[in-house]
Chains A and B, each alone.
Chain A
Amino acid sequence: MTNETLQIIKTRRVVRMMTGEPVARTNIEQILEAARWAPVGGNQRFLRFVVAEDPKLINLIRMVSPGMIQRPQVIITICADWDKFRKNKVKGHDRSSYIDVGTAMQTMLLASHSLELGSGPVTSFNKISVGIMLNLPSHVTPELMVCVGHPASGYQMPMAPKQKITWESLVDWGRVS
């Protein structure tokens, strides 16, 4: 029997070509619920998720986001709430916060893929402009956007199409030789 979870992990790729078909609200909620179960440093909750579904708002966000190649139906912006960090007196907070962003991102990408939706992360966006567009308070910063939509068939514009990376090439066993 194939292991479905491993299969989902291995077959997920960034989707940069999406159709105009809307994404069901129930699917977006499932993706957000999955993010709630992502591991976070110290079991603290410093992240906020801001969901943009309005095509007009999505279009404006795209205009200040050079890394957003796709035309998504939904953008989930993972934001860090720095007030919560300060209140909890977390040391070295920057690093742990960014790792939390990563775990939330990957959980949402995998959840989307398992729902047969396409998704792609974007960090190449203008954080000041997007903060204003999403009406974020000054202590909340947008860190990464997860674009969601139905994948278009065909070419998906990978960043480096011809790479052949095996897991073995990335691993050392025991002490590094």
Chain B
Amino acid sequence: MNENSTNIVLHESEVVELFVYFLATARVQIDDPDYYGPMRLLIAAEKLRDFVSNRSSSSLTRLFELTEPIINDAHIAINDIEKFSNKLDQLSKVIANYLLEVNGIEDPSHD
């Protein structure tokens, strides 16, 4: 089994917390400002990260480490849509490069 397909088990209470967060927040977002939506998703991602970070592989730990400071910056920029989008763009690049790398696909721009 390669490192990326290792089972990381969530505690049932963690599953409940995350599952309920998604469902409860879906309703809350109908009334809340639209731009809170991305922030809620970031918070859900952080919850998931915090649940598993002490038992994740070195590769997953690196993904968490790469994204954590950018997520923190995004939270601070929530009311500055340009800066906030910029942080989400940065996250999008980081995750794409991470996925290519762990799946052994070379980035042609680096040739």
With a cutoff of 8 Å between Cβ atoms, the chain A residues found around residue B25 in the complex are 66, 126
B17 touches A63 (CB 8 A): yes
Q: How many A-B residue pairs have CB under 8 A?
A: 36
Q: Interface size of A by Cβ–Cβ distance < 8 Å?
A: 15
Q: A124-B32, A124-B36 are in contact. Are A64 and B78 (CB under 8 A)?
A: no
Q: A63-B21, A124-B36 are in contact. Are A161 and B28 (CB under 8 A)?
A: no
Asked whether any CB of chain A lies closer than 8 Å to the CB of B55, the reply is: no
A64 touches B24 (CB 8 A): yes
Q: A63-B24, A126-B27 are in contact. Are A159 and B79 (CB under 8 A)?
A: yes
A124 touches B79 (CB 8 A): no
B78 touches A66 (CB 8 A): no
Asked whether any CB of chain B lies closer than 8 Å to the CB of A46, the reply is: no
Asked whether any CB of chain A lies closer than 8 Å to the CB of B43, the reply is: yes
Chain B contact residues, majority secondary structure? helix
A129 touches B24 (CB 8 A): yes
Q: A64-B20, A66-B40, A66-B43 are in contact. Are A125 and B28 (CB under 8 A)?
A: yes
Shortest beta-carbon distance from A16 to chain B in Å:
11
Asked whether any CB of chain A lies closer than 8 Å to the CB of B94, the reply is: no
Shortest beta-carbon distance from B45 to chain A in Å:
13
With a cutoff of 8 Å between Cβ atoms, the chain A residues found around residue B17 in the complex are 63
With a cutoff of 8 Å between Cβ atoms, the chain A residues found around residue B20 in the complex are 63-64
With a cutoff of 8 Å between Cβ atoms, the chain B residues found around residue A66 in the complex are 21, 24-25, 28, 40, 43
Interface residues of A in 120-166 (CB under 8 A from B): 124-126, 128-129, 157, 159-161, 163
With a cutoff of 8 Å between Cβ atoms, the chain A residues found around residue B21 in the complex are 63-64, 66
**Alpha-carbon distance between A124 and B39 when the two chains are bound, in angstroms:** 12
The 10 A-B residue pairs with the shortest CB-CB distance in the complex, in nearest-first order: A160-B79, A64-B24, A126-B24, A66-B25, A63-B20, A126-B27, A66-B40, A124-B32, A126-B28, A124-B28
Beyond A66-B21, A67-B32, A160-B80, list 15 extra A-B contacts (CB 8 Å): A63-B16, A64-B20, A66-B25, A66-B40, A67-B28, A124-B28, A124-B36, A125-B24, A125-B28, A126-B24, A126-B25, A157-B75, A160-B78, A160-B79, A163-B79
Q: Which B residues are closer than 8 A to A by beta carbons? A: 16-17, 20-21, 24-25, 27-28, 32, 36, 40, 43, 75-76, 78-80
Q: Which A residues are closer than 8 A to B by beta carbons? A: 63-67, 124-126, 128-129, 157, 159-161, 163
